[in-house]
Amino acid sequence: MIRSWLRSIGYEPVLTREDIKSSKKRKGARASDWQKTLRHIWKIVDEQRGLLIVVIGMVILSSVLSLLGPYLIGKIIDDHMIKRNFSGLKTMIAGLVIVYIGLSISLFLQNYWMIGIAQQTVYRMRTELFSKLQRLPISFFDKRQHGELMSRMTNDMDNISSTLNSTFIQVFSSVLTLIGTVIVMLTMSPLLTLLTMLIIPVMFISTRWITRRTGKLFKSQQQALGTLNGMIEETISGQRVVKAFSQEQRMMDDFAEKSSHLRRVGYWANVYSGAIPKVMNLLNNASFAVVAGVGGLLAVKGYVSIGTIVVFAEYARQFTRPLNDLANQFNNVLSAIAGAERVFSIMEEDEEQDDAKNAPLRKVQGDVKFEDVSFKYETEEENQTISQINFHVKKGQTAALVGATGAGKTTIMQLLARFYDVQQGQILIDNQPIQAFSRENIRSRMAFVLQEPFLFEATVKENIRYGQLDASDEEVIEAAKKANAHDFIMTLPQGYNTFLTSDGGEISQGQKQLLSIARALVANPSILLLDEATSSIDTVTELEIQEALERLMQGRTSFVIAHRLNTVRKADVILVMQQGELVESGRREELIAKKGIFYQMLQQSKL
């Protein structure tokens, strides 16, 4: 009945009976994953062992003081209030005040120091995760939403941080308080202790029933949040495309669907986890009522004193409170573990393998050979992306890659930059296998000018200097002049110190491309990889870019994905790609004379 009503108002359950049954089968594997995740976290926390020991000492002190307070109250009632014996009463009250002041100070200090431990731990994890992302191959990012990765860096890390801030102390303190309370209660009245502990089986069964459902839900919640963040990041980055194709409504519908899924998962996660404190309070009040009722009868018959009943009632609350806290914190732990699993899953990804990582840097001249190179992306099921590619581009030559979309032009660029490694054949640079050079070595001697130039949130000067971080201001300006970018830069509000946003919205597409060429010039590379980006530029700007590209390519080995006739006409060698194969190669005049595929492309005005 309740489930049907919830469905009617839009809260669909995300856990079915089949989900619960299947989760039982995965229980062993999930427990193992959680244990592994907790060991990873503990390994980082343990690096601050000294401060952690101090925090544990404060937790022990606060637990002892919290037990001592009610005991002193009982002594005051029995020895002084009931007997009307005021001798030493001031001393007892002063002692009680000191106990509670000490308790407050110890609680403050343990929280203060634990926050420092938690923040240092999350700082270390966040730094390691970011460093890991820099070492992962391009293929990793090709298969994942960027917003989803950002969610792991932010939301999941914040979740871990907030849990470490409070949960560790709370759990340890609750366990100590629970043990100490039971010991003291047994010394005072075994019968009342037994009555108090009757709620434990009920508490255990109800908590277990709830937490079996919350673990899966919290993990689903984190995944749904990551997916939603990915969609938001994509939509904001591609806002011009969305508006250009009038897809606002479709994006809103897509967002509503993903947001609704997050709402449903979050709803049930919080419904189940929120039931725990309610159940605990009910059992807590029931336990208190039993202790008060039975204790009152025992006091009337003289088996226990009034002070003992007062103290025992307080201890009964202290007995159930740690259980309540443990149940609540368990939900926080589940949520944090779900986030930590997502973080550590990235930490366990395979990094770029580089056998020549520690090899000394070599000077790259720019002579490039492809010998029987074949390659297939992981997502390709059958046909290879490129197959049996052979060509030789000598130092200082310009090679134009032409062919239809999907012919393999960009793949050749990616293999040359070692974003991916060849699966068959070999690539030679200066007659050395490309694997003999470290990736850093190869890429430090290459520069890229892509169709869609990317700018960072930094000044114009810093964006250009990204090609060579130790370049002087004079070198930056000289590169900008050669790239025909200096004149428009000087018209900006602060010139070279003008701050640009990541999408470069303050300047035109052509101006962004000129900055990209200046960035490549300041890097002074031996090999250029150019995805010629003049097809969507106005004629005047195109001429400026073409002139800047010619300066950039002068004396350097260049690979150009050609879209325009001018580039093909001036190329030393033209590589004609078709369905992943190199079908023709040679100079423009030679290929025209053959009247083959390249000639047909010219006739169709594609080049």
Structure tokens at 540: 């005047």
- Is pLDDT above 80 for 430? yes
- Residue 30's pLDDT is 47
On whether both 276 and 315 belong to a single domain, the answer is: yes
Q: How many Å apart are CA 280 and CA 289, to the nearest integer?
A: 14
285's CB contacts (< 8 A; 6+ apart) are none
Domain count, the chain: 2
Residue 102 lies in a domain: yes
- Residue that has been written with the tokens 């070692």 in this structure: 418
- Residue 121's pLDDT is 83
Residue 8 lies in a domain: no
Which residue in 322, 308, 246 sits closest to 280, CA to CA?
A: 322
CB 124 within 8 A of CB 40: no
> Where residue 574 falls among pLDDT bands split at 50, 70, 90?
very high
On whether both 407 and 306 belong to a single domain, the answer is: no
On whether both 300 and 247 belong to a single domain, the answer is: yes
pLDDT tens-digit map of 44-73: 877 788 888 888 888 888 888 887 887 777
pLDDT tens-digit map of 272-328: 777 766 777 777 777 777 777 777 777 777 777 777 777 777 777 766 677 667 766
On whether both 333 and 419 belong to a single domain, the answer is: no
Q: How many Å apart are CA 550 and CA 543, to the nearest integer?
A: 11
Q: How many Å apart are CA 501 and CA 52, to the nearest integer?
A: 43
CB 405 within 8 A of CB 413: no
Residue 202 lies in a domain: yes
Which residue in 47, 97, 62 sits closest to 76, CA to CA?
A: 97
Which residue in 150, 103, 110, 147 sits closest to 130, CA to CA?
A: 150
Residue 35 lies in a domain: no
Q: How many Å apart are CA 152 and CA 291, to the nearest integer?
A: 48
Q: How many Å apart are CA 503 and CA 322, to the nearest integer?
A: 52
- Residue 181's pLDDT is 77
Q: How many Å apart are CA 307 and CA 593, to the nearest integer?
A: 111
User: Would you call 143 helix, strand, or coil by DSSP?
Assistant: coil
Pairing of strands 557-561, 398-402: parallel
Q: Which domain holds residue 591?
A: 368-603
On whether both 218 and 293 belong to a single domain, the answer is: yes
Residue 238 lies in a domain: yes
In eight-state DSSP terms, residue 152 is I
On whether both 73 and 208 belong to a single domain, the answer is: yes
* End position of a domain, from candidates 315, 347, 379: 347
Q: How many Å apart are CA 201 and CA 222, to the nearest integer?
A: 32
- Is pLDDT above 90 for 142? no
- Is pLDDT above 60 for 8? no
Angle formed by the axes of helices 306-347 and 248-300, to 10°? Answer: 150
- Is pLDDT above 50 for 124? yes
Lowest-confidence segment of 338-352, 367-381, 556-570 by average pLDDT: 556-570
Residue 188 lies in a domain: yes
Strands of the 446-449 sheet, one edge to the other: 446-449, 527-531, 557-561, 398-402, 573-578, 581-586
User: Would you call 532 helix, strand, or coil by DSSP?
Assistant: coil
Beta strand segments in 334-431, E: 368-375, 386-393, 398-402, 424-429
On whether both 577 and 472 belong to a single domain, the answer is: yes
> Where residue 390 falls among pLDDT bands split at 50, 70, 90?
very high
Q: Look up the pTM and report it.
A: 0.65
User: Would you call 581 helix, strand, or coil by DSSP?
Assistant: strand
Which residue in 299, 320, 63 sits closest to 188, CA to CA?
A: 299
- Is pLDDT above 70 for 459? yes
Q: How many Å apart are CA 445 and CA 399, to the nearest integer?
A: 17
User: Would you call 84 helix, strand, or coil by DSSP?
Assistant: coil
Instruction: State mean pLDDT over 236-260.
Output: 76
Q: What percent of the chain has pLDDT over 90?
A: 7
* End position of a domain, from candidates 295, 315, 347: 347
| Bridge partners, 433 (sequence order) | 428
On whether both 326 and 211 belong to a single domain, the answer is: yes
Which residue in 217, 175, 178, 167 sits closest to 333, CA to CA?
A: 167
DSSP 318-330: HHHHHHHHHHHHH
On whether both 342 and 436 belong to a single domain, the answer is: no
Instruction: State mean pLDDT over 20-42.
Output: 57
Q: What is the mean pLDDT of the chain?
A: 78
Residue 591 lies in a domain: yes
pLDDT tens-digit map of 461-485: 998 898 888 889 999 999 888 888 8
* End position of a domain, from candidates 347, 382, 397: 347
**For the chain, how many helices (H) and strands (E)?**
23, 12
- Is pLDDT above 60 for 448? yes
On whether both 332 and 383 belong to a single domain, the answer is: no
Q: How many Å apart are CA 456 and CA 458, to the nearest integer?
A: 5
Single-letter residue type at 535:
S
On whether both 278 and 404 belong to a single domain, the answer is: no
Segment (H or E) for 430: none
Residue 84 belongs to a domain with what CATH number? Answer: 1.20.1560.10
On whether both 128 and 164 belong to a single domain, the answer is: yes
Residue 361 lies in a domain: no
Residue 401 belongs to a domain with what CATH number? Answer: 3.40.50.300
Q: How many Å apart are CA 167 and CA 172, to the nearest integer?
A: 8
- Residue 447's pLDDT is 86
> Where residue 540 falls among pLDDT bands split at 50, 70, 90?
low
Between the CA atoms of 416, 421, 425 and 428, what dihedral angle is there, to the nearest 10 degrees? 40
